[in-house]
Amino acid sequence: MREVAVIGVGLTKVGHLFSESLRSLFSRAVRGALEDAGNPKIEALYVGNMSAGQFNNQENIAALLSDFAGLNGIPATRIEEGCGSGAAAIYNGYKAVASGVHDFVIVGGVEKMMDTTANDATSIISTVTDQEYEAFLGLSLVGINAMVMRLYMNTFGVDREPFAKFSVQMHDNASKNPYAQFPFKTSLDKAMNSNPVADPIHLMDCAPLGDGAAALVLCPKEYAKNFTSKPVEIIGAGHGMDNFIFHTREDFLSLKATRDAAREAYRMAGITPDEVDVVELHDAFSITAFLSIEDLGFVEKGAAGQIVDEGLIALDGTLPVNPSGGLKARGHPIGATGVYQMAEIVLQLRGEAGARQVPGAEIGLTNNISGFGASSYVHILRV
């Protein structure tokens, strides 16, 4: 197997981008990534997208997007794995390069959500849950997260405050990120007193709806030096799965898919969790972030709130989490999120993250999940 490096990054600001379409967003991200990589000849495209069919009434988008991004004629594939579609595209592009099938590929993600109303978008997102035994009964993705948050608070004796503190930290980070949907700070008071969405989850525990696209250029590490002075290598990749329906899981307070993906990625990279300098993880809701921090092996079960309380997840802490602002404040254009995460880690490891730079970061980790952890991807990168 060949070693694989990221040599180009392109991304759009996340937001309610009413003047941008599905195709214009993606072509902007691709152009950015190609320019950053020094315009290598691309051999294949893998694009993550959750639901262009529902958000934009458009299927068959691999052909559409490759055509409008100036990549017509190369093999292009759309990959759907719910909210994990972005990381799924990366993983497949990574395997294509590692195996020797292709040398230069683009992996990207795009979601154009604001072509629907917020209400419809929420229903569309709920299609990542089981339609017959969850959504049929009125349960949505936030509802599942809320049930877990209540159980977590009850089991570990935690109140809502550490969760709210997490969101405040995400906004702090996003205030330094020009690509963020919410580039401004908020207060603990505002986070604590926002409206309940699905009790105990309040509005400020939730990632927003937004449009966005991101793309990366991957190639064999041996060619990377010809294109960039700072190639970032993918040294570990893992993909885990769990039971699809939440109530059939073995453990309601742990993401088995993430534990499995992380174990594989750490093994492949030959590192332990304490060697990770910076993390981008999947805080669709603040409870999802807490479980992820624990299941990625950074702290014990029930202890995520403690490190948030102590400020250890801040940019200058021992475990900087989501310097981009995370799904909460950078934004969560669903099928693109996994690619935004890796784009951020690449910028961090190159030392190009500006005001939100984690000093001296050399090893970074990304974790993108689908649904409430029905599947999970972990990638580890090193400069």
> If you search the block for the tokens 């002075």, which residue do you land on?
229
The first and second tokens of residue 49, run together, are 């997208």
Based on the residue annotation, tell me whether 83 is a catalytic residue of this protein: yes
The first and second tokens of residue 85, run together, are 């579609």
16, 83, 219, 239: the active-site residue: 83
Q: Does 347 bind other proteins (CB under 8 A)?
A: no
In single-letter form, the type of residue at position 107 comes to V
CB nearer to other proteins: give 85 or 126. 126
Alpha-carbon gap, residue 169 to 172, rounded angstroms: 5
Q: Give the binding range for other proteins (CB under 8 A) out of 166-174, 246-254, 304-312, 368-376.
A: 246-254
Q: Does 147 bind other proteins (CB under 8 A)?
A: yes
In single-letter form, the type of residue at position 42 comes to I
Residue in 201, 224, 255, 276 binding other proteins, rule: CB under 8 A = 201
Q: Does 57 bind other proteins (CB under 8 A)?
A: no
Smallest separation (angstroms) from other proteins to the CB of 48: 24
Burial class (CB in 10 A: 0-12, 13-18, 19+), 67: middle
Alpha-carbon gap, residue 4 to 37, rounded angstroms: 14
Residue in 63, 151, 188, 355 binding other proteins, rule: CB under 8 A = 151
DSSP codes, 305-364: HHHHHTTTTSTTSSS-B-TT-HHHHT---HHHHHHHHHHHHHHHHHT--GGGPPTT--EE
Q: Does 159 bind other proteins (CB under 8 A)?
A: no
> If you search the block for the tokens 């035994």, which residue do you land on?
133
Q: Does 193 bind other proteins (CB under 8 A)?
A: no
In single-letter form, the type of residue at position 289 comes to A
Q: What element of type H or E holds 382? A: strand 375-382
Based on the residue annotation, tell me whether 202 is a catalytic residue of this protein: no
Q: Does 120 bind other proteins (CB under 8 A)?
A: yes
Alpha-carbon gap, residue 329 to 154, rounded angstroms: 27
171, 239, 332, 379: the active-site residue: 332
Phi, psi torsion values for 216, nearest 5 degrees: -130, 150
Residue in 22, 146, 218, 321 binding other proteins, rule: CB under 8 A = 146
Smallest separation (angstroms) from other proteins to the CB of 143: 5
Does the N-terminal peptide bond of residue 200 adopt cis geometry, omega within 30 degrees of 0? Answer: yes
Residue in 246, 290, 298, 340 binding other proteins, rule: CB under 8 A = 246
Q: Does 287 bind other proteins (CB under 8 A)?
A: no
CB nearer to other proteins: give 68 or 244. 244
Alpha-carbon gap, residue 226 to 245, rounded angstroms: 47
> If you search the block for the tokens 């590490």, which residue do you land on?
221
CB nearer to other proteins: give 107 or 146. 146
Nearest C-alpha neighbor of 112 from the set 183, 46, 15, 179: 15
Smallest separation (angstroms) from other proteins to the CB of 112: 19
Q: Give the binding range for other proteins (CB under 8 A) out of 78-86, 94-102, 126-134, 363-371.
A: 126-134
Residue in 105, 142, 307, 365 binding other proteins, rule: CB under 8 A = 142
Q: Give the binding range for other proteins (CB under 8 A) out of 47-55, 76-84, 193-201, 310-318.
A: 193-201
Smallest separation (angstroms) from other proteins to the CB of 379: 28
Q: Does 243 bind other proteins (CB under 8 A)?
A: yes
Q: Does 139 bind other proteins (CB under 8 A)?
A: yes
Contact 238, 261 (CB under 8 A): yes
Active site residues: 83, 332
**Interface residue list for other proteins (CB under 8 A):** 119-120, 122-123, 126, 132-140, 142-143, 146-148, 150-151, 154, 195-201, 243, 245-248, 252
